Each structure stands twice: as C-alpha cells, then as structure tokens.
Amino acid sequence: MAELSDQELLDALGVEATPQKKAARTPREERIIAGFEEIQRFVEENGRSPAHGEEKDIFERLYAVRLDRIREQTECRDLVSEIDHQNLLGEPSAATYSSQEDIGDEELLAELGVDKANSGLTELKHVRSSAEKRAAEEIANRTVCEDFEKFKPLFDAVKQELDSGVRETKKFRKDAGFLKTDIRKGEFFILGGQTAYIAEVGENFTAPNGETDARLRVIYSNGTESDLLLRSMQRALYKDEASRIITDPNAGPLFAGEASEDDQQSGTIYVLRSKSDHPTVAANRDLIHKIGVTGGDVSRRIANSKNDATYLLADVEVVATYDLYNINRSKLEKLIHRFFDAARLEIDIKDRFGKPVVPREWFLVPLFIVDEAVQKIKSGEIENYKYDVKSASLQSLSDKPGEGAKSA
C-alpha cells in the first residue's frame, strides 16, 4: 500500500487544513491598540508610566487618562494584553474617571480642559504650558496694597507726565529682545489695563531650569499688588497684547532739531501765520498764530488752506517748525493747546456753506513765546510754567503774581 501524504492523512481524519483568516480589527479596536502603543513609546522614552498632574505636559496627562481607561475595561485589557511587554496593565490604576464608556482623543482633551479644535493631536497650538499657567496665576493673584498711599503720588505723577508728553508709552517688540534684566526697580509698565510699578527687586537666584531669576514686588494703580518672578512678569508683558513700557522722563529730550542714531522721527510742530483780510486777523497779524502737530508734510497739509475754515479760509505762511523724535504727537498737541488756552483766539468764520465755524488752534501769542514754550517742553520744565496773557510771557508757577519768568 502506497504511503499517504500529510494532506491525504488530514483529509482521511476529517481535518480542515486551510488556515483560517484572522478576523479584521474594528476601527475602535485599532484605535485602542494604536493609543496603547503611543503610551508604550512614552514609557520607553521616559522610563516611567505617564502620570496625572497640572504640572505635567498635556500629552502625558492624556496618555495617563487613556491608560486608566484601558485598565478599567476588560475588553480593552484583553485586546492589548499580548503586546504589554512593559507590564503596564499590571500596575495599579490611578484612575480618577469612573465611566466605562470608551472615548476618543477629542473627548479626553475636553475632559482635560483643552480645546483641540481642528489641529492634529501632536500640533496643539493653543495649549498653555504649566509655566504659562503659573505665570498667569501669579499675575491674577493680587492682594490689597496696605501701604498704597505711599505709592499713589507716584502714579499721579506718571499720569500727569503722560498727559503732558514728558513720558510716553511704547509697545513691546519681541524681536528687539526684551530681557528680564530690562525690568528694574522704579520702572512703570501697563499690564492688564493697569499701570504697574516695580517697587522692589529681590536677590537673584538660580531657577530649576538653570536661569537667573528674582522675586518682584509689583504695585498696581488700582491699589493692589502682586509678588511674582521676573520671568513671570516678562512673560505676562509679552502675552498681553495691550501691554506697554512707560518711558523714563530722563531718558532724553522729547524732541530736538537733530535726531540721534536710534531715534525715530515722529512728526513736526508747525506755527502758521494767516494772510486773511478778516479785521481781527489783519489788526493782530504778527500775534495770531496757529500751532499744530503733524506726522506728514506741512506744506502739503496747508496746500488747500484758503478753502478750509480751520485755516480761516485764507492762505497761510509757515513761520516756524520743530522736528519731533520719539514722542506722542496727539498728546503733545493737546499739551500745547492747553498751555496757551487762555490766549485762544475767539473768532467766527463761516465756511463755504455759510455755516459758522470757530477754529480752535489759533492763539494770540508772539512767535518768540511759542519758541520759548517749545524749549521748556524739551527740557521737561513746561509743567512749572504757565502763559500769562497780560504780560505776554511765560510765568513760573513759583513766581508771585505779576512777575514774569526770565527767558530761557
């Protein structure tokens, strides 16, 4: 009898030798396995299981929640047990979520308080780091400043200096490299809509990341204060798009005839004299001047003056100009107009439609007085003077009534 082959023996015994195809994984099962493999890669890279905690990276927190879910559900445990070479399923669960419902990454992120939006899981662009959260908490954790009366005069003075143009505010430029060391005792900033004063800077110390840091005492204009780190203050100023640096009044002249290498031209103070035949103007032509501030070309600004009631519906001549550098034009113009307010020209001019107009930028002030006032603004002394209409002179606020100030 011929020897039977293996296949013939199997057939004689009634054994089906055709290999059975392994059942295909469902999308849900594939997702569970892929998620577990991500956890395994984390363990390989970090030498430990992912853990919960506000201070942990968002991905580690997500992996920790996912691992808890897999440990909780028998179906999930059975699915990944064969590939669990790190014995992750055997570790005690740190689960804080009791639901047995399987959820995806989006829902896990939602439970963690993260808006995933439409970006990929590994491209979370709007998740704040734990360091950023701590900085925000430090800024928000303000207390009542018990000795605010000591600081209030400083805030009042800064407000006055901003209004007068002695100080100005500048927006942060990240590309300019604003450093922690640029935050010094005695400086003012605008943060969260409040003026912030650096009252104290503590001793330097080395932070856990190896960088030098220091503790600050920051007083705010609303009567509160906060105790935070230099790094936190720097980060908060960058995060707040409306934050500003308040310049030091002693940092240099408000404007000058010559610009320094680092100055940025801001505009021009112009002084005009009218050629109007209006009786009041004609009788006081050498005394009546329009004073304004512009960021553009003066000659272009006055080109159509004879058709503009602002210019008394007449041609004008430019009698003086002063270039500005690093200054707020609108605030400076308000300062000048307020300073000469007592000498403002009251005159009614009808526009081309017959409507009466009262120009507000014309003053009965001699040209040499305008020049003197400009010099006082440059030196920062203008707040100590006023314009005396009767004597047509700048009068020191410390002088007795009737005594004119000496010319600068």
Report the distance separating Cα 284 and Cα 312, nearest Å: 14
Is the pLDDT at 94 greater than 70, yes or no? no
Q: What are phi and psi of 213, to 5 degrees?
A: -145, 175
pLDDT digits (tens, 9 = 90+) for 302-318: 888 888 888 888 899 99
| Dihedral angle, C-alpha 39, 40, 44, 48, nearest 10 ° | 60
Q: How many helices (H) and strands (E) does the chain have?
A: 12, 17
Residue 47's pLDDT is 85
Whole-number Cα distances in Å, 100 to 60, 69, 184, 234: 21, 8, 55, 44
Is the pLDDT at 152 greater than 60, yes or no? yes
Domains of the chain by residue range = 27-122, 132-246, 265-396
- Percent of the chain past pLDDT 90, that is, above it, reads 12
Report the distance separating Cα 280 and Cα 404, nearest Å: 27
Q: Is 40 helix (H, G, I), strand (E, B) or coil?
A: helix
What DSSP letter does each residue of 260-271 carry, written as one string? -TT--EEEEEEE
Q: What is the mean pLDDT of residues 257-271?
A: 62
Of all residues in the chain, what percent are helix, strand and coil, respectively (each to 5)?
35, 20, 45
Residue 316's pLDDT is 92
Taking the alpha carbons at both ends of the chain, their separation in whole angstroms is 135
Q: Within 10 Å of residue 214's Cβ, how many Cβ atoms?
A: 18
- Mark out the alpha helices in 249-353 (DSSP H runs): 279-283, 298-301, 329-339
pLDDT digits (tens, 9 = 90+) for 100-149: 344 455 555 554 444 444 433 444 444 444 544 554 545 556 889 999 99
pLDDT bracket for residue 4 (50, 70, 90): low
Residue 196's pLDDT is 92
Is the pLDDT at 267 greater than 80, yes or no? no
Residue 198's pLDDT is 92
Q: What is the mean pLDDT of residues 6-20?
A: 59
Report the distance separating Cα 370 and Cα 291, nearest Å: 9
Report the distance separating Cα 56 and Cα 58, nearest Å: 6
Query: Which range (17-26, 115-124, 315-324, 331-340) has the least confidence?
Result: 115-124
Amino acid at 384: N
3-state secondary structure string across 163-184 = HHCCCCEEECCHHHCCCHHHCC
CB 128 within 8 A of CB 136: yes
Report the distance separating Cα 24 and Cα 34, nearest Å: 15
Q: What is the mean pLDDT of residues 250-262?
A: 46
Residue 100's pLDDT is 38
95 vs 145, which has greater pLDDT? 145
Write the burial class of residue 307 (CB in 10 Å: 0-12 exposed, 13-18 middle, 19+ buried): exposed
Q: What is the mean pLDDT of residues 250-264?
A: 46
pLDDT digits (tens, 9 = 90+) for 235-248: 888 877 788 888 87
